[in-house]
Chains A and B, each alone.
Chain A
Amino acid sequence: MPQKKRSKDLNFLEKIYLPEIFNGLMLTLKNMFRPNVTMQYPEQKFIPPASYRGRPVLVKENDDTERCVACGLCSRVCPALAIEVQPDETALEKERFPKLFEINMLRCIFCGFCEEVCPEEAIVMSKDYELVYTNREDAIYGKDKLLVPVEELSDRLEFLRNFK
């Protein structure tokens, strides 16, 4: 029985390799003259697009209060159990605010579930990817590090409104 011809079967020119090798060489040669994509990182910083999921941050309103109402959904949905919220009562109209809001950045996996589940758009993924700490305690971010003014997050909030 004659063997069935497969699309993989090579023709004569392909079988003698040389033209194909030449094609391959030309491809790499062409690439040598293309512009580089490497960034000189510490000097040159990558500014991510709005869809980027950097470290999660809390939205700080213009009146310096947090948007968060400490509902605890982010904490519940977090697959890595990175978030701890301790609610308390406030005299503001929203009644409830996070007395304590801690994200353990060693546990965080940047999945963005917290952002997705948040009913208030209070926790969003920022563009910040530079996370450095030298011990485990420093990796636990409290409200002081998490609260970011709302203007700085306008990109992401707009992205969420359009695509979430």
Chain B
Amino acid sequence: MPKLIIDGKEIEFENGQTIIEVAKKDGLEIPHFCWHPSLSISGNCRVCLVEVEKMPKLVIACSTIAADGMVVNTQSEKTLNARNAVMEFLLINHPLDCPICDEAGECKLQDYAYKHSAGESRFVETKNHKDKRIQLGPRIMFDQERCISCSRCIRFSDEIAKENQLTFVQRGDHVTIRTFPGEEFDNPYTLNTVDICPVGALTSNDFRFQTRVWELSSTESICVGCSRGCNTEVWVRDNEIKRLTPRENFDVNSYWMCDHGRVNTWKNVNADTRIDGCLKDGEKISWEDAIKSVSDGLTQYQPEEILFIGSAFASNEDNFLFKKLAEKKGVHEVYFASAIKPGDADDILIQEDKTPNSLGASKIGLTGSNDNKSLSKKISDGKYKAAFILEDDLTRLEEDVIKSLQNIEFLIVQATNENQLTKEANLVLAASTFAEKHATYTNFLGMVQRVKPAVTSANMDRALDSMSKSRWDKFATTFDRWGRGKKYDSKPGWSILSGILNEMGEEKNYQMAEDVFDELAKEISDFNGMNYDTIGSGGALLKSFTKQEAETV
């Protein structure tokens, strides 16, 4: 293998790698704005200039192919001077409005201004003023002044979103980014440009002016918007989700996620429609009473009179225990409804299947099909007198499902938010959302992935449940207004179901989600050998599936 020397350290590399890639692999960060590992090289920010021996001038590390025997110096006086000069140029027309800029705290320009700049400006002339509020697309706001023309967003829309929607216009210090007149920057992936924008030029309408990034806690999770299950970070303040950002996982979503997943999939967590405590015929009841009513209610019906409908929106653990519960009652067929939106997919990330766990549900032994007609017919054919429906608003199937539900005497619904179905239900069990529990979901590629609690519900405590904490969470007392937030009285699905199982005489007592998953992994062959540790933050593949790289990488 060829070798080169960076800052006196010999590093092996593969032919074709650039200096910045070699350095990165070795853990050395060469400052960069325009370079991004999964975008093409444009080399226009010039901040990655390094000194290479025997080259007459400094070269940019991002586009210089490493060669055997090369001696690179990233800390020589010449390099540092050049870097400082580049920073000074970039800051000439940058408005330095960090106090009002949402990027502050995670801004590359801000960081580099501390690390690599002299900290003084010699520019006494008036700065160039441009428009600060340009609605570039339906979800994205553009501040022209802050832009340092790195072209990352342009390359993203060309290469990843494949939509060619953005371009540079004008020249010199008038250069700015815009769409074609009359067009909007509206592809399904626009908000990724907010993440990759090294400054605060592109901001999300959804997150703009919501909070400071350093006041948030972040928790590793996944997106439950479709069966892709993009890896995410959940950012929480005052027990409310403030935003979702993608987390890199090259087996699933690379660096990206879609705008729908980022903006819409978590809005129900803190919505007013959350079910706060169990309801019996619309009245609040205690958990003990609720679990007892489920158990007592179901004993009054014959197995063939009870309909169990699992859910592809619920986690592996929930469906597993749900199946157990059905079998305990002597019911062997457990259904689940699919949610496929034909045509709403692309070959980047978005999948037609809008549930996060349909593969997991079928692997666990639930019966589902692409055709939900048979399921709606089953509900309405009058054979069933009781039904237990897990975390799925079945009224989305057909309009008259609601009508046909009236045949059912005893309807139990486990749900996170109010919907048509919970209004009809005799008993509503308050379930936690994906952001309030430990759980696993299986995506269409066969990856079993974990979510971790980011928001606390009533019986949880950030410290005791070792959840991630922001500075506010760490130091808040009961007398402080901040850090409190609203806590809903809900429990994770598996916990409710194991309570019902115990009430029905099942001896096995599940203490935590991991116990349920360990048993699942023992009983279901595809999950054999898995546990929460092996899944980790990157996921684990089902046995019958082979690894395939996400197409976008």
Q: Chain B residues near A94 (CB, 8 Å)?
A: 100
Asked if B211 contacts A95 (CB within 8 A), the reply is: no
A47–B208 CA distance with the chains assembled, in angstroms = 43
Over the window 86-97 of chain A, the binary record of Cβ atoms lying under 8 Å from chain B Cβ atoms (1 yes, 0 no) is: 111100001110
B476 nearest in chain A by CB position: A81
CB pair A96 B100 closer than 8 Å: yes
Asked if A140 meets B212 with Cβ closer than 8 Å, knowing A71-B98, A71-B104, the reply is: no
- Chain A to chain B: the 9 pairs with minimum beta-carbon distance, closest first: A71-B99, A72-B212, A96-B100, A84-B482, A89-B209, A119-B99, A69-B100, A87-B209, A136-B479
B479 adjacent to A87 (CB under 8 Å): no
Contact status A73-B99, CB under 8 Å: yes
The 15 sampled A-B contact pairs (Cβ below 8 Å) are: A71-B98, A71-B99, A76-B212, A81-B471, A81-B472, A81-B475, A84-B481, A87-B211, A87-B212, A89-B209, A94-B100, A95-B133, A102-B481, A102-B482, A104-B481
Residue B214 interfacial (CB < 8 Å): yes
Measured CB to CB, the residues of A under 8 A from B are 69-73, 75-76, 81, 84-89, 94-96, 102, 104, 106-107, 119-120, 136, 140
Cα A28 to Cα B334 in complex, Å, equals 97
**Residues of chain A lying within 8 A (CB to CB) of residue B98:** 71, 119
Complex: A159 Cα to B479 Cα, angstroms:
35
Interface flags, B429-469, vs A, CB<8A=1, else 0: 00000000000000000000000000000000000000000
- The residues of A that contact B209 with a CB separation of less than 8 Å are 70, 87-89, 95-96
B210:A87 contact, CB within 8 angstroms: yes
Task: State the CA gap A96–B103 with chains docked (Å).
Answer: 14
Q: Which residues 80-114 of B sit at the A interface, judged by CB distance below 8 A? A: 98-100, 104
Does the CB pair B472–A71 fall under 8 Å?
no
- What residues of chain A lie closer than 8 Å to B482, measured between beta carbons? 84, 102
B215 at interface (Cβ–Cβ under 8 A)? yes
Give chain B's interface residues, CB within 8 Å of chain A. 98-100, 104, 132-133, 208-212, 214-215, 471-472, 475, 479-482
For the complex formed, measure the closest distance between the CB of A135 and the CB atoms of chain B, giving whole angstroms: 10
Contacts of B104 in A (CB 8 A): 71
CA distance A120 to B99 in the complex (A): 9
Q: What's the Cα separation between A84 and B481 when bound, in Å?
A: 9
- Given known contacts A71-B99, A72-B215, A95-B100, is B481 in contact with A89 (CB within 8 Å)? no
Given the complex of chains A and B, what is the CA–CA distance between A76 and B480 in angstroms? 16
Give chain B residues whose Cβ lies under 8 Å from the Cβ of A73.
99
Beyond A69-B100, A71-B104, A104-B480, 14 additional contacts (C-beta under 8 Å) are A70-B100, A70-B209, A71-B98, A71-B99, A72-B212, A87-B209, A87-B211, A87-B212, A96-B209, A102-B481, A107-B480, A119-B98, A119-B99, A120-B99
**Who on chain B is nearest to A89 by CB?**
B209
Residue numbers in B under 8 Å from A102 (CB-CB): 481-482
A94 CA to B209 CA, complexed, in Å: 12
Docked Cα-Cα span, A18 to B20, in Å, equals 85
Closest residue of chain B to A102 (Cβ to Cβ) is B481
B214 closest partner in A (C-beta): A76
Q: A89 — which chain B residues lie within 8 A by C-beta?
A: 208-209
Chain B's closest residue to A104 (CB) is B480
Complexed CA–CA distance, A102 and B472 (Å): 14
- Neighbouring B residues of A106 by C-beta, 8 Å: 479
Bound together, the chains give a CA A73 to CA B243 distance in angstroms of 21
Closest to B104 in A: A71
Min CB gap B134→A, angstroms: 13
CB B270 to nearest CB in A, in angstroms, measures: 15
Residues from chain A with a CB closer than 8 A to the CB of B133 are: 95
Min CB distance B145 to A, Å, is 11
Query: Is A95's CB under 8 angstroms from B215's CB?
Result: no
Give the complex CA separation of A94 and B211 in angstroms: 16
Instruction: Give A72's nearest chain B residue, CB to CB.
Output: B212
Residue of B nearest to A107 (CB): B480
Chain A residue numbers with a CB within 8 Å of B211 are 86-87
- A106 CB to closest chain B CB (Å) equals 8
Tell me the complex Cα distance, A70–B99, Å.
8
A139 vs chain B, min Cβ distance (A): 9
Question: Which A residues lie within 8 Å of B100 (CB)?
Answer: 69-71, 94-96
- Chain B residue numbers with a CB within 8 Å of A120 are 99
Interchain CA distance A104-B481 in the complex, whole Å: 9
What residues on B are CB-neighbors of A84 within 8 Å? 481-482
Q: Closest Cβ of chain A: how far from B245's Cβ, in Å?
A: 19
B475 contact set on A, CB distance < 8 A: 81
Bound-state CA distance A96–B101 (Å) is 9
| Residues of chain B contacted by A107 (CB below 8 angstroms) | 480
The closest CB in chain A to the CB of B471 belongs to A81
Which residues in A have their C-beta under 8 angstroms from that of B212?
71-72, 75-76, 85, 87
**C-alpha gap A107/B475 in the complex (Å):** 12
Check A95 against B214 for contact (C-beta < 8 Å).
no
Instruction: Tell me, in angstroms, the Cα distance from A119 to B104 when the chains sit together.
Output: 14
Residue from B99, B215, B472 in contact with A69 in the complex, judged by beta carbons closer than 8 Å: B99
A70 to chain B, nearest CB (A): 8
Least Cβ distance of A63 to chain B in Å? 18
Task: Report Cα–Cα, A84/B237, bound state, in Å.
Answer: 12
Shortest Cβ distance from A81 into B: residue: B475
B208 touching A140, Cβ below 8 Å: no
Bound form: Cα–Cα A96–B209 in Å: 7
Q: How far is the CA of A106 from the CA of B472 in the complex (A)?
A: 16
